A and B are shown apart, each in its own frame.
Chain A
Amino acid sequence: MEIGMRDIVFLCVALLTTIPCLIVVFSRNVLYSAFALFFTFLGTSGLYFFLDAEFLAITQVVVYIGGVSVLLLFAILLTKNVDEIRKTNMISGPRMALAGAAALALLGSFLYALKGARWAMNGNAAYPATTIKGLGDLLLSKYLLPFEIVSILLLAVLVGSLVISRRSVQ
């Protein structure tokens, strides 16, 4: 198999995604974890580019890196005794071994399954919509109802967060 430029770039992006992932999980300092998450999001966005999903990639950058991870950092920094959190992120030996074994088994079965897969969207099939216009058309035609459900969903989340965060019952 010939390794081209594209493959090398892909490899880099993939590593950019996965290595911070490991840091997120294994770091004893929650702040480091949060920063690592930042890179994971970035890598994911890169993977979207590889899939020709430019809009998704940009959205990923805007929403997750610009929004979510910044929020996350704020939340951590506003939390009292962040240092204490180190103690909560303890990983015990046997449990770790068990989790590792399960994860490896899962990975193995995934690899096995995906290796023999035959996908419907193979090759250079034309994707339904990758542009903003195309996506917009779809969201307001075929997926109108799901789109509306999402708005209700967000509303419910808003109400829920209000319930949780409101100072006290009057």
Chain B
Amino acid sequence: MLELIPNQLGFPLLSLMIFVPLAGAVILLAVRDARAARWIALLFSIAEIGLSVPLLANFDGSIAHMQFGESLPWIKDWHINYRIGVDGISVLFVGLTALLTTISIMVSWTAIQDRVREFMIAVLFLEAGMIGVFVALDLFLFYIFWEAMLIPMYLLIGVWGGPNRLYAAIKFFLYTLVGSVLMLVAILAVYFSAGGTFDVLALMNHPFGHTFQMWAFAAFFAAFAVKVPMFPFHTWLPDAHVEAPTAGSIILAGILIKMGAYGFLRFSLPFFPSAAISWTPAIMTLSVVAIIYGAYMAFAQTDFKKLIAYSSVSHMGFVTLGIFALNSQGVEGGLLQMINHGVSTGALFLAVGVIYERTHTRMIADYGGIAAKVPVYAAYLLIITLSSIGLPGTNGFVGEFTILLGAFQYKAVYAVIASLGIILGAGYMLWLYQRVAFGTVTNPHNEHLQDMNLREIAAALPLLVLVFGVGLYPNAAFQVMHASTENLIKHVQAKAALAPVAAQAANALLGQ
């Protein structure tokens, strides 16, 4: 049984991580100057990275328990507490969030000229929300952060996005909202059926009946599957990605869509294991469909960003495939691949942002032969492309390989089809690179293209380090998550075995 180990650091680390960006946002409210707003936002986001250093340094990967725990009574009448903590599943996301937010602010330095202050407020508010989602251990608290995030993301897309931003923003908002509100009802049902608690750790151990699990799982699935996004709930993603400003795309691809998969790991599986097992064939099938469909659609795209968006659908298919294989390789691979995808897709969107700022076009056909003009950029893009394909030595390889191992153990056919997706992935990415970088310069506008400047390189560097770091020494990541994923698998199996016994009791509860 998981416990919440109280924070031993002498200062509320996780709370600081939530409230430092918020404080930054509040301070920005009083700032008028755009330059000052950029620096303040950068300062606060770097402070957040600074905070994640003691978090990662002091995290004990050998135990599965929730660490750095904090618990304060919040709304007593409803038994709601402000409970936060991290385990091996969430800790890496907290670090990734801090990193990607800083990178987003750096790439927006010159790209965002309009309403800079408001932009930075939205980004910092979003960061607080994302950290909150990953550390919340109370369902109510989680839901607050989960929904609150919609506001800044909606504004980021809608205000600073591309020409079709209004449509994309509202589509993003409504899709995710509909999924979320269904989850809200399920959260309430869970609350009452467990005797009135929102405590995630307590709910993990509550034996819900099988029928109840089936319904509640479906409702949670509505929220998470939209967020992932799983086929066929993915249609908002290409629009949102294409229209969002670079910073928005990086955060969206890097963090936001991971939350769906994180939700499966944190809530759906531990709460409703027997339902998860019943739903597995369907979800595995959807995952495989997403892998192939995403890759197929990526081939057909002429828009740089849209191609990456569809590749995300395909890659997230791998993640859910791994998670619902429900064995340790699958889950660990899925988790690692979420981090990897955050890094490499974040890096890809950064690459698009860099070049878009210079040419103001996202059409692949408008490029070609730029390798000769911007060698640093071309090299950077190549590394990221290879990482996205999953070349051995890069992070992508480790994740996908582990997932395929897990899927193979579940059912060989899924692994076989999924590996087809890897081949397709290599196809569209290399073709993309070829069209953009090689050949002769076809577009006269690209004759005098500027290469990446120091700021952009500085923003890209940490991502490159992670690409090779995780690729060459994946154990660093596995060590952090291993205890938690092992525990999760055991928990799921043990609790699923119990379910039939508890089913009657819970059914009686439901029937009232």
* A touches B (Cβ under 8 A): no
